[in-house]
Chains A and B, each alone.
Chain A
Amino acid sequence: MDFVPHDDKTITEMLKVIGINNLEELFQDIPKDLIINRLNLPLGLSEPDVLKNVKKLSQKNRVYSNSFLGAGYYFHYIPSLVDFVISRTEFYTSYTPYQAEASQGYLQAMYEYQSIISRLTQMDVANASMYDGSTALAEAAIMATLITRKNRLLLLEGIHPEYSEVVKTYCWGQGINLKIIAENKLIDELNQDIAAVLFQSPNFFGDIEDVLMLAKKVKEKAPNCLLIQCMTDPTCLGVLKPPGETNVDIFVAEGQSFGISPSFGGPGLGIFAAKKKYLRKMPGRLVGKTKEINGEREGFLLTLQAREQHIRREKASSNICSNQALCSLSALIYLISLGKTGLREIASQNFQKANYVKNKLTEIPGYEILNKKPTYNEFIVKCPDVDALTHECKQLDLLPPLRLSKYFPNLKNIALVCVTEMNSRESIEKFINAAKNVLHNKKEGKK
């Protein structure tokens, strides 16, 4: 099938208007030897056949009844109205709203998104979105070097390992000096030449940092050094002190938890917010409120575009053009659907359920919680046999937790467990049984 509306008669009429005889003449500027005969691809399929084909492929994936896996992407409940709103074709088939007067609907929604992120994070300004959490962090790092005109960054262990790698790649591209250090080395490494300290909280292993204390330490030793916080599951902001109240300069997060299905890791949403004084160095699109030239009504448009590549070209603060607009719309609808009551309750449930699982695991011999700080919905646990735990989980139709050895080959038999509001008591009991079965099977094996 294709989506071309013309019949042959129409094509002939149009060719006549152009003054040529056939479609081939349209390509007369292309050297003859570059024209190909046909692509080596199958012929097109009808809609039912395409559906059959793609469905067959999808069957090779496995959907579990419940999950204990997080590590950067999370299973949270998505209110039905999220998909309803983003499926309005006036939204999803539109382009970047360059013509403001014909795009007021989306522009207002983007303005509301920026507003709700500001309210949630208590940061001064949020942009209209970045690609994802990892690239948002990399862009924040670059932005810090532009603001401070310094070329060295410190990145604290505990940032999602894939995020660290992305930051590393971006920094290599621009010749920025990046050092990854343990938190207890921070004070030793800090000095006036550091542009920014990058950290994650709750971190990859689940620890919630005392950000206010961290900010104090950093600013005392290096007053001009920026503090950049990243977060992979910002639902915790329903109860945790927001970055705007802990002296964070730039805040970035992966917004997938806000109403976006996992979809094998993308598209997600890069949340990006900063203190107001850094506004003009910020990457990405911004929507502003203004008035009519010849009237009094308020409206919305893309603003401060002089920061962006289509105006500034190589002098732009970033090369970003497309963003994740539709995903930011999902996040907006998610956050407003939950409201303050829902956001607090969801965050509380994540805390409480994860803590419940922590306590239950501690009761099983051989399991030891390794976090020394408070945690949100993820924690790390030393297991008797993490591969066996993985196997047991799968048997019980549970998506197993992450084995840390995936990213840290030396950290054997440690699992990063994620528990959200989606984990019912029943699934939690199954998981605890899986953990117990490992022990039981080990004993059996020994006999």
Chain B
Amino acid sequence: MDNNDSLIFEKGVGRAQKNFIPKMDVDGEKLEDILPKNLLRDVLPIPDVPEVEIVRHYVKLSTINYGVDSGIYPLGSCTMKYNPKINEIVVRLNEFSQIHPLQDENEGSLELLYNISIMLSEITGMDGFTLQPAAGAHGELVGMLIIKKYFETKGIIKDKIIVPDSAHGTNPASAKMAGFSIIELQSNEYGEISLDHLEFAMQQGDVAGIMLTNPNTLGVFDRQIKDITKIVHKHDGLCYYDGANLNPMLGICRPRDMGFDIVHLNLHKTFSTPHGGGGPGSGPVGVINELISFLPKPYIISTDDSIVCEQNNDKSIGRIKAFWGNFGVILRAYTYILSLGADGLKRVGQIAVLNANYLKCLLQKKYELPYNRRCQHEFVLSDKNLPNDITTEDVAKRILDYGYYSPTIYFPLIVNGAIMIEPTETESKHSLDKFVEAMLKIFDEALNKPELLKTAPHNTPIGRLDAVIAARKPVLHD
């Protein structure tokens, strides 16, 4: 398909478009009489485009875009599961979509927020949740601010956070935004935390806590997790759980039981809300009892006869977003949890891990698997076996030719040329088999027809793009 299509701005016509302007039914004064001329704008370079042209333009663009509904989307650490359609129906109910964040008579919305915070507490084992954070990284920032405030309140100075080298990039960036400096901890040969290194770091006395994801970004469960959290607690640190990888743990085990004090969840990963091309997300943060008073405002509580916001709490880290959080996203996740229930959620955990291990077993026949262990939701291949100077990027681009989306590449940083694959529980065996077939074929092509990979993709709307020029001379708008 030809992508060389004009931008929407070139589809304007001379005729003024007035389809969306309600009738002006009061006697309005002239603008010039209400406003001084120096406050008014002159040009407004946005064309008038007929509705039919707009619809065709964006329908066409949608056809050159790949989503979960197009096929397998094996992006590691992104949990690209199927997004149930009922979720899209409930968010469009007027009694949810047309509610103003500052209005009274909002009991339905508040009750929903309260209900889901109880459900998430049960799923993670935590005692209280805030639903304010707009995304995972935003939740991480909230978690780090809670740790900061906790020690500030106690009058203790601890200004460092431990982050393993396998962590998501957001972890160190979030800790830094809360004013911490970072101690990076090297993973051991099993992809796990080295207890000796951890003990040594904690002994310095200025470490406020650790940020961990478990299973980690290699997709493996850290078997010493209880010892890790014990060591951190022994030195008066707090343990933060990055819930980006919670999906395989649903109904199987809980961050609280592993010893974590704070956890953030990604409702747009684990709880099926669509990623929307990069957002909106939602990143609720759960804490143990001792930390509830540090949660951001407003914190929703249940009293004898209603659900209300707790107003007076001077320990709170403060407000981190206007209003109530990404309610529309939270509502979808609520619908998902109701749909699946205890039984369905456990099945998610089980089948997410089954699918990942199945793929891993079939792909490691040809691709190098540096951490060869039982994986959980995902696993990471390296570029070690790739012949003829074929790079991970070449493989990723060739996958697009087979009509699939590519895995996450070059992450985690501790694996050379990482190819990180997370199939999720919603892929059928047939879908997984087809993907394996393509991947193995690509490996053969790498051996026999390397040029095919070097110049891939060939079957996409456009060929491989020049990222270097794009960064050197940025063109960011027309």
CA of A6 to CA of B354 in the docked complex: distance in angstroms? 11
27 residue pairs of the A-B complex, CB under 8 angstroms, read A5-B426, A42-B338, A43-B342, A44-B339, A51-B86, A53-B338, A54-B90, A67-B100, A72-B101, A91-B65, A92-B88, A106-B61, A115-B9, A166-B321, A240-B41, A265-B102, A266-B101, A291-B469, A293-B465, A297-B463, A316-B169, A319-B173, A327-B280, A335-B46, A337-B49, A339-B49, A406-B102
**Given A72-B322, A102-B66, A112-B8: A322 touches B345 (CB 8 Å cut-off):** no
Stretch of B31-39, B196-204, B231-239, B438-446 on the interface side: B31-39
B1-32 near A? 1/0 per residue, CB < 8 Å: 00111011100100011111110111111010
Q: Does B141 contact A (CB under 8 A)?
A: yes
Question: Inside 8 A of B319's CB, which chain A residues have their CB?
Answer: 134, 162, 165-166, 168-169
Query: In the bound complex, what is the Cα–Cα distance between A106 and B58 (angstroms)?
Result: 9
Contact in complex: A29, B223 (CB < 8 Å): yes
Evaluate contact between B464 and A266: CB separation under 8 angstroms. no
Contact residue among B88, B108, B172 (Cβ-Cβ distance under 8 Å from A58) = B108
B41 closest partner in A (C-beta): A241
Q: Would you list which residues of chain B between 83 and 114 have a CB under 8 Å from chain A?
A: 83-84, 86, 88-109, 111-112
Q: Is B317 an interface residue (CB 8 A)?
A: yes
B457 at interface, CB cutoff 8 A = yes
Stretch at the interface among A149-157, A184-192, A302-310, A361-369: A302-310
Provide the bound-state CA to CA distance between A292 and B354, in Å: 39
Segment 61-114 of A: residues with Cβ below 8 Å from B: 61-64, 67, 69, 71-73, 75, 77, 79, 81, 83-85, 87-106, 108-112, 114
Identify which of residues 144-177 in chain A touch chain B, using a CB-to-CB cut-off of 8 Å. 160, 162-163, 165-166, 168-170, 172-175
**Given known A72-B323, A166-B321, A294-B463, contact A26–B81 (CB-CB < 8 A):** no
CB-defined contacts of B328 to chain A, threshold 8 Å: 263-264, 266-267
Contact of A322 among B62, B103, B279, B320 (CB under 8 A): B279
For residue B41, which residues in chain A have a CB less than 8 angstroms away from its CB? 237, 239-242, 245
* 0/1 string, B275-293, CB within 8 A of A gives 1: 1111111010000000000
**Is B8 a contact partner of A336 (Cβ separation < 8 A)?**
yes
Asked if A314 and B175 make an inter-chain contact with CB atoms under 8 angstroms apart, the answer reads yes
CB-CB nearest in chain A for B297:
A165
Q: Which residue of B lies closest to A77 (CB)?
A: B20
B226: Cβ under 8 A from any A Cβ? yes
Residue in contact with B96 in the complex, picked from A61, A106, A287, A308, CB distance below 8 Å? A61
**Known contacts A26-B357, A50-B338, A169-B319, A69 near B100 by CB under 8 Å:** yes
Rounded to whole Å, the gap between the CB of A44 and the closest CB of chain B is 3
A44 touches B16 (CB 8 A): no
Q: Which residues of B contact A301 (CB under 8 A)?
A: 465, 467, 470
Question: Within the complex, what minimum Cβ distance (angstroms) separates B445 from chain A?
Answer: 17
- B194 interfacial contact with A, CB 8 Å: no
Q: CB within 8 A of B26: which of A10, A309, A353?
A: A353
A343 within 8 A of B: yes
Contact present for B347 and A4 (CB under 8 Å) = yes
Known contacts A53-B338, A322-B137: A115-B44 contact under CB 8 Å = no
Residue in A109, A118, A240, A321 whose beta carbon sits within 8 Å of that of B170 in the complex: A321
CB distance from A287 to the nearest CB of B (A): 7
CA distance A87 to B325 in the complex (A): 22
Residue of B nearest to A53 (CB): B338
Q: How far is the CA of A114 from the CA of B9 in the complex (A)?
A: 12
B151 contacts partner chain A, Cβ-Cβ < 8 Å: no
The CA-CA distance from A76 to B80 in the complex, in Å, is 33
Which of B36, B101, B340, B357 interacts with A262 by CB under 8 Å? Answer: B101
Closest Cβ–Cβ distance, residue A129 to chain B (whole Å): 7
Contact of B463 with A295 in the complex, beta carbons under 8 Å: yes
Number of interface residues of A (CB under 8 A): 200
Specify which chain A residues have a CB less than 8 angstroms from the CB of B70 in the assembled complex: 90, 93
Which among B19, B108, B351, B477 is the interface contact of A57 at CB below 8 angstroms? B108
Whether A324 pairs with B280 at a CB distance below 8 angstroms is yes
Q: In whole angstroms, what is the CA distance A415 to B462 when docked?
A: 55
On whether the beta carbons of A17 and B362 are closer than 8 Å, the reply is: yes
B367 to chain A, nearest CB (A): 16
- CB pair B268 A322 closer than 8 Å: yes
Contacts of B103 in A (CB 8 A): 62, 64, 69, 399
Residues 280-303 of A, flagged 1 when their CB comes within 8 A of B and 0 if not, give: 000001111111111101111101
Contacts of B106 in A (CB 8 A): 61-62, 264
A31 is contacted by which of B97, B141, B223, B327 (Cβ under 8 Å)? B223
B344 at the interface (CB under 8 A from A): yes
The residue that A135 contacts in the complex, of B321, B340, B461, with Cβ under 8 A, is B321
B429 within 8 A of A: yes
Q: A11-B354, A29-B373, A290-B465 are in contact. Are A57 and B112 (CB under 8 A)?
A: yes
How many residues of chain B have a CB within 8 Å of chain A?
A: 204
Q: Is B460 an interface residue (CB 8 A)?
A: yes
Q: How far is the CB of A110 from chain B (nearest CB, A)?
A: 8
A23 on the B face (CB < 8 A) = yes
Indicate if the CB atoms of B172 and A313 lie closer than 8 Å. yes
Complex CA gap A109/B20 in Å reads 22
Instruction: Tell me, in angstroms, the Cα distance from A118 to B101 when the chains sit together.
Output: 29
Q: How far is the CB of B181 from chain A (nearest CB, A)?
A: 8
Q: Cβ of A286: which chain B residues have Cβ within 8 Å of it?
A: 474, 476
Could you tell me if B344 and A1 are in contact, using CB atoms closer than 8 angstroms? Answer: yes
Is A94 in contact with B26, judged by CB distance below 8 angstroms?
no
The answer to the question of B274 belonging to the interface, with a C-beta cut-off of 8 Å to chain A, is yes
Please determine whether A173 and B177 come into contact, CB atoms closer than 8 angstroms.
Answer: yes
Chain B residues with Cβ below 8 Å from A329 are 276-277
Give 1 or 0 for each of B445-474: 1 = CB within 8 Å of chain A CB. Answer: 000000000010100111111110111001
- Chain A residues 5 to 52 lying within 8 A of chain B, measured CB to CB, are 5-6, 10-11, 13-15, 17-19, 23, 26-31, 34-36, 38-45, 47, 50-51
B100-A30 in contact (CB<8A): no
Of B47, B134, B427, B475, chain A has the most CB atoms within 10 Å of the CB of B134
Q: Are B46 and A120 closer than 8 Å at their CB atoms?
A: yes
**How far is A15 from B351 in the complex, measured between Cα atoms in Å?**
11
B63: chain A residues at CB < 8 Å are 90, 105
CB distance from B442 to the nearest CB of A (A): 15
Cβ contact within 8 Å between B3 and A104: yes
Separation in Å of the A47 CB from the closest CB of chain B?
Answer: 5
Chain A nearest CB from B67 CB (Å) reads 4
Q: Does B18 contact A45, Cβ atoms closer than 8 Å?
A: no
The distance from the CB of A164 to the nearest CB of chain B, in whole angstroms, is 9
- Assess whether A346 is interfacial by the CB under 8 Å rule: yes
Which residue of chain A is the closest to B409 with respect to CB atoms?
A98
Decide if A115 touches B7 in the complex (CB within 8 Å): yes
Which of B16, B135, B173 lies at the interface centre, i.e. has the most chain A CB atoms within 10 A of its CB?
A: B173
Closest to A46 in B: B339
- Which one of A105, A128, A316 lies within 8 Å of B65 (CB-CB)? A105
CA distance A3 to B178 in the complex (A): 38
* Cβ–Cβ contact B339 & A169, under 8 A: no
Contacts of A174 in B (CB 8 A): 177-179
Q: Which of A28, A289, A314 neighbours the largest number of chain B CB atoms within 10 Å of its CB?
A: A314
Q: Is B419 on the interface with A (CB-CB < 8 A)?
A: no
Is A352 located at the chain interface by the 8 A CB criterion?
yes
